[in-house]
C-alpha cells in the first residue's frame, strides 16, 4: 500500500512507525553541504556532501520517531536511493530531474539525527518520476506518447497499438503481439519517468524496467509522431540507450 502525502495546512502528521510506502511530490533540488570535520564550509576544508532535497509545496509534520517533533513542521526532505542495484539506477534518474517537480516513493523514513542529515526528514526512495501535469500535454501529441507508454507499463499490446500508425500495427516490434510478449513478461514493469518535447512532433522519453534475461534497463528513446486522419500517432521509436 502507498500513502500519498497531502501537503496542506489541515493534513494530519505522517506516522513514521507505519511500514507502508510513503509518496511525496515537490521540487527536486541539489545542494552540496559541508561535512566533517567541522560541518561549516566546504571552502574551509570540510568534506563536500552532495545531497538531493525535495522541497514540498506546504510544510508537514511527522510522528513516530524520537528524532522528530510533531509540533514542528518542515517542508524539506532529504532523499537518497535505497541500497542495491535498483538504487544505483535511481542516482541517474535524480540527476536528470534536478529543478523539476517530481514524485518520490519509499519506505523507512526517519528523523535527522547526525551531521550528515541535511533536512528534518530522511527518506530512502525506491522510485522517482516527473510529476504528471495534465495541462502540459493538452492539445499536443505528447498525450499519444504518454498513452502508449502507459499501455506498455500494463503489458497491453492491443491498447498500445492504438497509438501507432496503422501500417506498423500488424507486424514488427510495434505490433500488439510483440509488445504483449515482451512487456507482459517483465520482472519489473516499465515505469515511465519523463516525456519531454524536443520539437513539435518528437519527444525524448525516459523509462526503466527489469527484463528476465537482460536485467535492468534504464532506457531513453526518441519518439516521433505524425498526424493521420486528424489523430496523433507514433511513427517511429529510436532507442538511445540500447534498450
Number of domains composing the chain: 2
Statement to judge: residues 47 and 76 lie in one domain: yes
Statement to judge: residues 46 and 114 lie in one domain: yes
Statement to judge: residues 91 and 168 lie in one domain: no
DSSP string, 56-107: EEEEE-EESSTT--TTS-EEEEEEEEPSSHHHHHHHHHHHHTTTSEEEEEES
Statement to judge: residues 108 and 95 lie in one domain: yes
pLDDT truncated to tens, each residue of the chain (243 aa)? 556 665 555 578 999 998 899 999 999 999 999 999 999 999 999 999 999 999 999 999 999 999 999 999 999 999 999 877 667 778 988 998 999 899 999 999 999 999 999 999 999 999 898 887 767 778 899 999 999 999 999 999 999 999 999 999 999 999 999 999 999 999 999 988 889 899 989 999 999 999 998 888 989 999 999 999 999 999 999 999 878
DSSP H/E element including 41: none
CATH number (domain holding residue 26): 2.40.50
Statement to judge: residues 29 and 70 lie in one domain: yes
Q: Which residues pair with 53 in a beta bridge?
A: 29, 78
Statement to judge: residues 110 and 149 lie in one domain: no
Whole-angstrom Cα distance, residue 167 to residue 241? 26
Given the C-alpha cell 545531497, which residue does it identify? 51
Cell numbers linked to 207: 523509462
CB 212 within 8 A of CB 187: yes
Statement to judge: residues 26 and 124 lie in one domain: yes
Q: 190 lies in which domain range?
A: 134-239
Statement to judge: residues 114 and 14 lie in one domain: yes
CATH number (domain holding residue 197): 3.10.450.50
Statement to judge: residues 164 and 203 lie in one domain: yes
CA angle 192, 86, 151 (to 5 degrees): 25
Statement to judge: residues 120 and 10 lie in one domain: yes
Amino acid at each position: 500500500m502507498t500513502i500519498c502525502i497531502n501537503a496542506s495546512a489541515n493534513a494530519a502528521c505522517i506516522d513514521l512507525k507505519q511500514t507502508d510506502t510513503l509518496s511525496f511530490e515537490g521540487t527536486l533540488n541539489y545542494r552540496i553541504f559541508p561535512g566533517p570535520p567541522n560541518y561549516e564550509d566546504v571552502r574551509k576544508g570540510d568534506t563536500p556532501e552532495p545531497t538531493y532535497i525535495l522541497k514540498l509545496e506546504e510544510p508537514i509534520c511527522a510522528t513516530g520517531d524520537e528524532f522528530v517533533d510533531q509540533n514542528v513542521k518542515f517542508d524539506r526532505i532529504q532523499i537518497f536511493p535505497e541500497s542495491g542495484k535498483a538504487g544505483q539506477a535511481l542516482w541517474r534518474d535524480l540527476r536528470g530531474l534536478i529543478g523539476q517537480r517530481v514524485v518520490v516513493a519509499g519506505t523507512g523514513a526517519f528523523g535527522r539525527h547526525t551531521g550528515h542529515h541535511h533536512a528534518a526528514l530522511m527518506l530512502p526512495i525506491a522510485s522517482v518520476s516527473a510529476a504528471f501535469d495534465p495541462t502540459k500535454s493538452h492539445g499536443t501529441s505528447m498525450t499519444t506518447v504518454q498513452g502508449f507508454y502507459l499501455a506498455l507499463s500494463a503489458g497491453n499490446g492491443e491498447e498500445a497499438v492504438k497509438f501507432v500508425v496503422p501500417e506498423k500495427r500488424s507486424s514488427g516490434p510495434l505490433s500488439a503481439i510483440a509488445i504483449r510478449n515482451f512487456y507482459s513478461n517483465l520482472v519489473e514493469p516499465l515505469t515511465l519517468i519523463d516525456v519531454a518535447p524536443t520539437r513539435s512532433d518528437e519527444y525524448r522519453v525516459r523509462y526503466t524496467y527489469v527484463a528476465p534475461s537482460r536485467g535492468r534497463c534504464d532506457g531513453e528513446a526518441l519518439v516521433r509522431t505524425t498526424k493521420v486522419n486528424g489523430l496523433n500517432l507514433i511513427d517511429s521509436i529510436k532507442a538511445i540507450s540500447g534498450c
